[in-house]
Structure 1
Amino acid sequence: MTRLHSNPPFHAEHVGSILRPKALLEKRAQFEAQQCTKQELVNAENDAIAAVVKLQQDCGMRTITDGEMRRTFFFEGMFENLEGMTFVPNTPIEHFKAYLPYVAFYVMAGLSEVPSTYTTGKIKRTKGVHTEDFKYLKSCVKPEDVKHLKVNMLSPIWLHLRHGPEHTYDHSVYKNDDEYFRDLIQAYREEINELYELGCRNIQIDDPSFCFFCAQSMLDGMTKAGVDHAALLDKYISWYNVMTRDRPDDLVIGVHMCRGNYKGLHYCEGGYEAIAKKVFVDMDVDCFYLEYDDNRAGSFEPLQHLPLGKVVVLGLVTTKNGVLESASDIKSRVEEAVEVMVNGHPERSREDALKQISVSPQCGFASTVDGNPISEEEQRLKLELVVSVARMLW
């Protein structure tokens, strides 16, 4: 599915999370130790968000996020705020799919229980999930810049992939996956619609799941477990398409894919060949944020399948360490990607291919509150580098 949207991503993009400042980390620790009030923590988060907005603006970024300053983990927000879903702090590790790369990490770490969320009742969105956060983010920018703000939202397939139909929902509530996803996707549609009404024009769905489908270790594990991974991928794409169906022309919905981002670590490897044709062509979203900071993501060849009218955001600047990349090297890699797309299916001119590309860091700088092994100054230099390369190329 391809559409021409009136609000395409900028050529210099930022994926989402920013290192939490020391003052916020200290306030969070105080709150967890019951040494300050919730409002005091919120005030510290507000200050951090205002500062991180200024950081992004000073670096020349036009697409602005709140840096996920209110989150402990990137996947917080959606599920635990929907009616019918129950947070379970001690979910048995046996209720997680062992073939998932990060679950294998849990097992190696000796964990027997991991927090998760379980569907105990009919799923309903009875309140805004990210709407209040967006309202505060709006207050940090000029009215004319609201259209440049971006909201990060967890993928709707996150829980289902990690637990399967066996442990995602109570079977007295939902008999099958179709019933579960019907209500869940409706909740996502309602959230997206309200965000749009508030002025949001850019939503990024954070979804490592698709990169896990690129990992041969997971595909082998699924086959051994009797799971048809090709059919499951098709099912996930179909539900994404229900979620994004009939969205306004000036609303950009992108999907960020990565192979794990925990304190500079990743969980799996594998190029996009395994999913490119299905995902790039069949999934009704406007752009794909792809990890390309080292060889674990493979070559640019899968980009030959990118349809006209969609954008690929190449994550060429790593957030996993502080070593600053060369602007000329990044420019050369973009040129390499352009060449693949020019000779792709369909073919396109070099000028058109370049229009379909943006550059970004490969992931957030702090997918968890702990952040990656990188300093705030190194983070700033990397954001400035992304903007500098974009100015060179576009």
Structure 2
Amino acid sequence: MSSSLVHLRPPFRAEHIGSLLRPAALFQKRELLEEGQGTPQDLKAVEDDAIKYVVKLQQELGIKTITDGELRRGLFFEGVFDTLEGMTSIPNRPISTFKPYIPHIAFMYAAGLQESESVFCTGKIKRTKGFYIDDFKYLKTLVSPEDVKSIKITMCSPSWFHQRHGSDLTYDPSVYKNDDEYFDDLGLAYREEIKELYDIGCRHIQIDDPTFCYFCNENMIAGMEKAGVDHEALLDTYIRAINVCTQGRPNDLTIGVHMCRGNFKGGVHFSEGGYDRIAVKLFNTLDVDTFYLEYDTERAGDFAPLKQLPLNKVAVLGLVTTKNPKLESVADLKARVNEAVRALCEGNPKRSEAVALDQLCISTQCGFASVWQGNPITEEDEKKKLALLVETAKQIWTDV
């Protein structure tokens, strides 16, 4: 594991999780594509212009950790599994191959779906091309050389498809005998991507993982137990899967994990439950530098689990919701940060308020558009929420 950090926090105190609303021209072009008019290649020029626009938007609002808004993706997880050799896309995979206890899969069963798009591992996993290398290179052209280190690349967790299908239906058993073999090769592919990104200047990576919050959901735990699945062992497997990806990273590369409860069309969420069930194990054994935590509603629980956060890691509090236009206030956000500080001070080891505050940052709770259609808010709402984060951070911390 990484033994020390050059900086004990993400590069900046106010962040957003990654995805942004699609500008009108791109939204309309994507809509036509979904209707079968045109090809993905037709999107390229429109995406380039849209990314220029959202980069400028972030800069003008004072958001210094720049992303491309995930504007080249239809869904937040695109660009990884669909590029790997050994993964076969299955456009109409039977619903019976999806685990019904997984929160978002339960929605599919309830809707009466008989099939859904997914992948199946049919051969040895190899990274033969980059996930987001070209995306990063383009972003580099849109910022000053000194700001390249502030670009954040987001990518889905290695467990994304495994949690859908389980240990028995994710890979061909003639290819991989067990989960460790599968995640070892997948982790190697991720490490190759991370190294190439680092070599061209990337210093900030965020792994998006809805899986961990699912382990906070009592309905899922009950469903797994009924199905005879050892949920504690599976949680260990998913922690190991990320650790295989992050091992050996340079000390000046910040890697964080965003734990999501769902952010589908219309801002729909799939899961609930506080971090209590997973905090001790996750905060202390997951080999990342930062934890992006959703804290915008009561379904996330209270800040007590932060007591388990080690001194060398950071919690980015997702206090601003992206799911509706209601605007939080600076006063409320400051009060919640102070509440989190008090929880951290009660941790083991105990720490001063100054140390606790230095372990915190603030962000949106999730992306504004994890799927291309986006959440039910306007661009003006999006701007107000990002500006609120920046203003609050300025009032709380002196090093913004």
Instruction: Give the TM bin, normalised by the shorter chain.
Output: over 0.9
From 298, 313, 318, the equivalent of 1:315 is 318
1:96 match: 98
2:84 match: 82
2:355 match: 352
Distance 1:237 1:38, change over 3 A: closer
Summarize the alignment of residues 374-385 of structure 1 with structure 2, pairs less than 5 Å apart. Answer: 374-385=377-388
Task: Give 1:344's aligned amino acid.
Answer: G
Instruction: State the identity %.
Output: 60
Summarize the alignment of residues 153-172 of structure 1 with structure 2, pairs less than 5 Å apart. Answer: 153-172=155-174
Residues 23-52 of structure 1, C-alpha deviations (whole Å, 9 max, x = no match): 101112334455445443100001111101
From 227, 250, 265, the equivalent of 2:252 is 250
Is the contact between residue 97 and residue 163 of structure 1 (CA under 8 Å) also seen in structure 2?
Answer: yes
Please say if 1:288 is aligned against 2:286: no
Residues 180-213 of structure 1, C-alpha deviations (whole Å, 9 max, x = no match): 1111111011011101011000000000000000
Residues 266-293 of structure 1, C-alpha deviations (whole Å, 9 max, x = no match): 1111000000000001111000000000
Partners of 1:241 and 1:38 in 2: CA distance: 34
Paired residues, number: 394
Task: Give 2:6's aligned amino acid.
Answer: S
Distance 1:248 1:30, change over 3 A: same
Partners of 1:361 and 1:4 in 2: CA distance: 27
Task: Give 2:279's aligned amino acid.
Answer: A
Shift of residue 142, structure 1, vs aligned partner: 0.8
Comparing 4-13 and 189-198, the one that deviates more: 4-13
Partners of 1:33 and 1:112 in 2: CA distance: 22
Summarize the alignment of residues 164-203 of structure 1 with structure 2, pairs less than 5 Å apart. Answer: 164-203=166-205
Secondary structure of the equivalent of 2:77?
coil
Gaps of 5+ in 2: none
From 323, 327, 330, the equivalent of 1:327 is 330
Summarize the alignment of residues 264-279 of structure 1 with structure 2, pairs less than 5 Å apart. Answer: 264-279=267-282
Partners of 1:338 and 1:2 in 2: CA distance: 25
Residues 131-156 of structure 1, C-alpha deviations (whole Å, 9 max, x = no match): 11111111111111000000000100
Comparing 8-17 and 37-46, the one that deviates more: 37-46
1:238 match: 240
Is the contact between residue 88 and residue 121 of structure 2 (CA under 8 Å) also seen in structure 1?
Answer: yes
Secondary structure of the equivalent of 1:158?
coil
Please say if 1:369 is aligned against 2:378: no
Secondary structure of the equivalent of 2:315?
strand
From 342, 345, 348, the equivalent of 1:342 is 345
Partners of 1:286 and 1:110 in 2: CA distance: 41
Is the contact between residue 83 and residue 122 of structure 1 (CA under 8 Å) also seen in structure 2?
Answer: yes
Partners of 1:53 and 1:209 in 2: CA distance: 29
Please say if 1:67 is aligned against 2:66: no
1:4 match: 4
Is the contact between residue 292 and residue 316 of structure 1 (CA under 8 Å) also seen in structure 2?
Answer: yes
Task: Give 1:359's aligned amino acid.
Answer: I
From 116, 121, 135, the equivalent of 1:114 is 116
Task: Give 1:4's aligned amino acid.
Answer: S
Shift of residue 239, structure 1, vs aligned partner: 2.5
Partners of 1:282 and 1:31 in 2: CA distance: 43
Q: Which runs of 4+ in 1 moved over 6 A?
A: none
Partners of 1:34 and 1:107 in 2: CA distance: 27
Distance 1:320 1:344, change over 3 A: same
With the length of structure 2 as denominator, give the TM-score of the two structures.
Answer: 0.96
Partners of 1:234 and 1:31 in 2: CA distance: 40
Please say if 1:205 is aligned against 2:215: no
Is the contact between residue 2 and residue 251 of structure 2 (CA under 8 Å) also seen in structure 1?
Answer: no
Task: Give 1:342's aligned amino acid.
Answer: C
Secondary structure of the equivalent of 2:14?
coil
Secondary structure of the equivalent of 2:92?
strand
Shift of residue 2, structure 1, vs aligned partner: 6.6
Partners of 1:358 and 1:134 in 2: CA distance: 24
Is the contact between residue 291 and residue 362 of structure 1 (CA under 8 Å) also seen in structure 2?
Answer: yes
Partners of 1:3 and 1:378 in 2: CA distance: 40
CA RMSD of aligned residues (A): 1.2
Residues 301-351 of structure 1, C-alpha deviations (whole Å, 9 max, x = no match): 000000011010000000000010011001000000000101111111111
Is the contact between residue 53 and residue 140 of structure 1 (CA under 8 Å) also seen in structure 2?
Answer: yes
2:394 match: 391
Task: Give 2:285's aligned amino acid.
Answer: D
Is the contact between residue 2 and residue 309 of structure 1 (CA under 8 Å) also seen in structure 2?
Answer: no
Is the contact between residue 2 and residue 248 of structure 2 (CA under 8 Å) also seen in structure 1?
Answer: no
